[in-house]
Amino acid sequence: MSYINESLSAGEEISSLFEQHWVVRIPMMLWLLLVITIPVAIYEFLRLRYTELGVTNKRVIFKTGIISRKTEEMKLASIETVEIDQGIIGRILGYGNIHVSGRGVSDVVLHDVRDPMAVKRAIESISHPAH
Protein backbone atom coordinates (compact mmCIF):
# COMPACT_ATOMS: atom_id res chain seq x y z
CA MET A 1 0.00 0.00 0.00
CA SER A 2 1.31 3.47 -0.84
CA TYR A 3 2.21 6.05 1.80
CA ILE A 4 -0.56 8.39 0.67
CA ASN A 5 -3.23 5.67 1.00
CA GLU A 6 -1.74 4.53 4.29
CA SER A 7 -1.69 8.04 5.82
CA LEU A 8 -5.28 9.10 5.08
CA SER A 9 -7.13 10.40 8.13
CA ALA A 10 -10.80 9.81 8.86
CA GLY A 11 -12.89 11.31 6.08
CA GLU A 12 -9.85 12.11 3.92
CA GLU A 13 -9.96 11.02 0.27
CA ILE A 14 -7.39 11.16 -2.51
CA SER A 15 -8.32 13.78 -5.09
CA SER A 16 -5.40 13.35 -7.51
CA LEU A 17 -2.13 11.50 -7.81
CA PHE A 18 0.66 12.93 -9.96
CA GLU A 19 3.56 11.39 -11.84
CA GLN A 20 7.05 12.64 -12.46
CA HIS A 21 7.98 13.26 -16.08
CA TRP A 22 9.94 10.62 -18.03
CA VAL A 23 13.06 12.85 -18.13
CA VAL A 24 13.74 11.99 -14.48
CA ARG A 25 14.52 8.45 -15.68
CA ILE A 26 17.36 9.60 -17.96
CA PRO A 27 20.08 9.29 -15.25
CA MET A 28 18.87 5.74 -14.52
CA MET A 29 19.07 4.86 -18.23
CA LEU A 30 22.57 6.32 -18.47
CA TRP A 31 23.67 4.29 -15.45
CA LEU A 32 22.22 1.16 -17.06
CA LEU A 33 24.28 1.79 -20.17
CA LEU A 34 27.40 1.65 -18.05
CA VAL A 35 27.31 -1.99 -16.91
CA ILE A 36 29.67 -1.33 -14.01
CA THR A 37 27.16 1.03 -12.45
CA ILE A 38 24.18 -1.32 -12.32
CA PRO A 39 23.83 -0.83 -8.53
CA VAL A 40 23.45 2.92 -9.12
CA ALA A 41 20.84 2.27 -11.81
CA ILE A 42 18.94 -0.02 -9.43
CA TYR A 43 19.08 2.67 -6.75
CA GLU A 44 17.73 5.27 -9.23
CA PHE A 45 14.93 2.90 -10.26
CA LEU A 46 13.93 2.29 -6.62
CA ARG A 47 14.22 6.00 -5.75
CA LEU A 48 11.79 6.87 -8.54
CA ARG A 49 9.53 3.92 -7.77
CA TYR A 50 9.08 5.00 -4.15
CA THR A 51 8.43 8.69 -4.83
CA GLU A 52 4.78 9.68 -4.41
CA LEU A 53 3.08 12.98 -5.25
CA GLY A 54 -0.58 13.75 -4.70
CA VAL A 55 -3.36 15.85 -3.28
CA THR A 56 -6.18 14.67 -1.04
CA ASN A 57 -9.25 16.58 0.06
CA LYS A 58 -7.15 17.76 3.06
CA ARG A 59 -3.44 17.88 2.09
CA VAL A 60 -0.79 18.17 -0.62
CA ILE A 61 1.78 15.36 -0.20
CA PHE A 62 5.30 14.72 -1.54
CA LYS A 63 6.94 11.53 -0.22
CA THR A 64 10.41 10.11 -0.97
CA GLY A 65 12.46 7.27 0.44
CA ILE A 66 13.20 3.62 -0.24
CA ILE A 67 13.78 2.32 3.27
CA SER A 68 13.57 5.54 5.22
CA ARG A 69 10.73 7.97 4.56
CA LYS A 70 10.69 11.75 4.11
CA THR A 71 7.46 13.61 3.51
CA GLU A 72 6.55 17.19 2.76
CA GLU A 73 2.90 17.91 3.44
CA MET A 74 0.70 20.99 3.61
CA LYS A 75 -2.92 21.27 4.69
CA LEU A 76 -5.13 22.70 1.95
CA ALA A 77 -6.41 25.40 4.32
CA SER A 78 -2.83 26.73 4.63
CA ILE A 79 -2.18 27.10 0.89
CA GLU A 80 -1.72 30.65 -0.32
CA THR A 81 -0.01 30.20 -3.70
CA VAL A 82 0.71 27.43 -6.19
CA GLU A 83 3.51 28.37 -8.59
CA ILE A 84 5.10 26.64 -11.58
CA ASP A 85 8.87 26.63 -12.11
CA GLN A 86 9.53 25.47 -15.66
CA GLY A 87 12.67 26.00 -17.73
CA ILE A 88 12.97 25.96 -21.52
CA ILE A 89 13.51 22.19 -21.75
CA GLY A 90 10.64 21.65 -19.29
CA ARG A 91 8.33 23.78 -21.44
CA ILE A 92 9.29 21.86 -24.57
CA LEU A 93 8.98 18.41 -22.96
CA GLY A 94 6.06 19.19 -20.64
CA TYR A 95 7.44 18.96 -17.10
CA GLY A 96 8.32 21.29 -14.24
CA ASN A 97 8.33 21.89 -10.51
CA ILE A 98 5.30 22.99 -8.49
CA HIS A 99 5.93 25.23 -5.46
CA VAL A 100 3.08 25.22 -2.96
CA SER A 101 3.49 27.91 -0.32
CA GLY A 102 1.30 28.77 2.61
CA ARG A 103 0.83 30.51 5.92
CA GLY A 104 3.42 29.74 8.57
CA VAL A 105 4.75 26.58 6.93
CA SER A 106 7.64 25.77 4.63
CA ASP A 107 6.99 25.30 0.92
CA VAL A 108 6.16 21.91 -0.53
CA VAL A 109 7.92 21.37 -3.84
CA LEU A 110 6.72 18.67 -6.24
CA HIS A 111 9.76 18.02 -8.44
CA ASP A 112 9.69 17.24 -12.18
CA VAL A 113 5.96 16.59 -12.45
CA ARG A 114 4.37 15.76 -15.76
CA ASP A 115 2.03 18.48 -17.07
CA PRO A 116 2.61 21.03 -14.30
CA MET A 117 -0.30 23.23 -15.41
CA ALA A 118 -2.74 20.33 -14.84
CA VAL A 119 -1.17 19.66 -11.42
CA LYS A 120 -1.50 23.36 -10.51
CA ARG A 121 -5.16 23.35 -11.59
CA ALA A 122 -5.85 20.15 -9.60
CA ILE A 123 -4.33 21.58 -6.41
CA GLU A 124 -6.05 24.95 -6.80
CA SER A 125 -9.43 23.41 -7.61
CA ILE A 126 -9.39 21.31 -4.45
CA SER A 127 -7.81 23.98 -2.18
CA HIS A 128 -9.92 26.91 -3.44
CA PRO A 129 -13.17 25.46 -4.83
CA ALA A 130 -15.31 27.73 -7.00
CA HIS A 131 -18.27 29.21 -5.19
Question: Coil, strand, or helix at residue 97?
Answer: strand
Check which CATH number belongs to the domain holding 25 and give it.
Answer: 2.30.29.30
The model's pTM is 0.71
Closest among 72, 33, 77 to 52, alpha carbons compared: 72
The dihedral built from the CA positions of residue 11, 60, 113 and 43, taken in this order, carries a sign that is: negative
Q: How many domains does the chain have?
A: 1
pLDDT score of 117: 95
pLDDT tens for 80-121 read: 999 999 999 999 999 999 999 998 778 899 999 999 999 999
For residue 16, give its domain range: 3-127
Cβ atoms of 21 and 95 within 8 Å: the answer is yes
Mean pLDDT of 56-64: 91
| pLDDT number for residue 27 | 82
pLDDT at 131 over 60: no
